[in-house]
Structure 1
Amino acid sequence: MANLALHPDALTAKCLTLKHWLACSADRPEKLRNWQTTRGEDGRLYLSAELRGPNPAGALRAFMGRQALFLSLRVEPSVESSADDAMPYLDFSTPGRTAGVWRLSGVWVEVWYPETPDAAPRPVQRPPQAVTVPSRQGLGARLPQGRRNKTLKETNPA
């Protein structure tokens, strides 16, 4: 049995997907990992990658927008492979994950992230308490008045 990951169509779809991912997410910390290539019952290749990072939903949304633009430019009668392309859509059919799915040159590409329950809400930070100034009573009679200003007569007796 041949290694599906080395199939020319799967390699082309993976290379184009990675190229667009790198162009779209140069400043994002999210990464595509765990690439898998399978063949469906219909005989088509399926390419799947897991999206990991602090904000996978935002990263997937931005990436799908770029893929939609790329595929809309490819879907023309003059382009040979455009008949094998399909615009991206969100897929919620697999419990516990959200996926962006599209078809590129006859290969179904799926970029997904696991749905995690929202983290517990952060505790509300209390407003800072007012700083209390200690009472100056009992510190001595001279401290509250400060230094005595000398007048010109006192400094220059003439």
Structure 2
Amino acid sequence: MTDPIAVRNAATGAWCLFMQDRRATETVENWETSTTPDGSPCLSGQVVGDNPALALRLFTADYPIPLGKPGDLRPTVEYRDGRVVTVWRSAGVWVELWHPETPAPRPGPPAAAQRPARPIPAPPRRTAVTVTTPSGRLPLSQRLTNTRRQYASKETAR
């Protein structure tokens, strides 16, 4: 005979241990009990918190739920009725943890670009001096050329 209360307590305990390890705040609330079409009991709880999608995904992928009875199944993810559901079977009881699916926003027309209140003037551009030298060497920079002129004028002034 299956005991849904014991399975619910085990699922809640597994969730709490997993969240405690991750230092997360998501909880499972609004537990409901129902029966599947084949007569098996079904428990359903909603994951609530800051990021329920990430918490449920990590729980499904990383947490090893002990399955020791014949017919027990590992957790899987399903999408149904506008929600993301993690489902597994433990001791003959189906357990569902879910959160509402948040649809991605539909792409709309691009927003009109807003002009700034006042345009910011661009800094003045320096034009590059391209001097070709007969030797094929790179031309000297303006700063180096000015420095050489200053020394040359000091030398001639002496």
Q: TM-score range by the shorter chain?
A: 0.5 to 0.7
Counterpart residue type for residue 51 of structure 1? V
Moved over 4 A (4+): none
Counterpart residue type for residue 91 of structure 2? S
Shift of 1:34: 0.5
Shift of 1:104: 0.6
Alignment partner of 1:70 out of 65, 72, 79: 65
**RMSD, matched Cα:** 2.2
Counterpart residue type for residue 65 of structure 2? F
After TM superposition, list the pairs within 5 Å mapping 1:19-98 onto structure 2.
19-26=13-20, 27-67=23-63, 69-71=64-66, 74-75=67-68, 81=69, 83-92=70-79, 94-98=80-84
- TM-score for both structures, normalised by structure 1: 0.59
Work out whether 1:103 is the aligned partner of 2:89.
Answer: yes
1:98-134 C-alpha deviation (Å, 9 max, x unpaired): 0000001100000000012458xxxxxxxxxxxxxxx
Number of residues paired by the alignment?
Answer: 104
Where in structure 1 are there 5+ consecutive unaligned residues?
A: 1-6, 76-80, 120-158
Shift of 1:31: 1.2
1:42 is paired with a residue whose SS is coil
For 1:35 and 1:44, how far apart are their aligned partners in 2? 16
Where in structure 2 are there 5+ consecutive unaligned residues?
A: 106-158
For 1:12 and 1:85, how far apart are their aligned partners in 2? 15
Q: Answer whether contact 1:13 1:107 (CA < 8 A) is retained.
A: yes
